[in-house]
A = this chain, B = another copy of it.
Amino acid sequence: MDEIDRTIVNLLRADGRTSYAELARRVGLTAPSVQDRVVKLERNGIITGYKAVIDSEAIGLGITALIGIIPDNSADHQDICERLRAIPQIESCYFLAGVECYQLKVRVPKMADLERLIHRVGAIPGVAQTRTTITLSTKWEDRQQPLPSDGEARGVD
């Protein structure tokens, strides 16, 4: 993971369809060696995939909401997690340090779907309470910050 790798990662984060030839021009190597680096980055789990970014409203998922989950004492977290994973509308799931031990980001076409979803989550054994917040607008999402250099990341303290 040197400076060239970081440049490649940054370029691919900005445009996941950049060709190896183009990457090669940008970093001053040839296409095969860039490909070699990318394959290694993928194998080492640094690049975990490539995605097209879709406008969720345009595909009929106009409603985004955040759902916090407060568990009861009997909660079996592995079971809860599996049941949450089985709900396709939950796009992200974070396990938190706090009273609300999970936060879910969900997307649905209509309010009625959100209502059904909240009831479904609330019915999971071990879930004492849920707290849902509608997002009025998404200012931005999944923006990339510049990769920290080794020094910044490892801590120079």
Contact = CB atoms under 8 A, between A and B. Distances in A.
B94 A135 contact: yes
B136 A54 contact: no
Most buried by B among A110, A112, A139, A143: A139
B50 A15 contact: yes
B143 A91 contact: yes
B55 A45 contact: yes
A2 interface: no
Interface of A: 9, 12-17, 44-55, 58-61, 64, 66, 81, 84-85, 88-98, 100, 102-103, 107, 109-110, 112, 133-148, 150, 152-155, 157
23 contacts: A12-B51, A13-B51, A16-B49, A44-B58, A47-B54, A50-B50, A51-B51, A59-B148, A59-B153, A60-B152, A60-B154, A64-B94, A66-B94, A88-B143, A91-B143, A91-B145, A92-B138, A95-B135, A95-B138, A97-B134, A97-B135, A97-B136, A110-B155
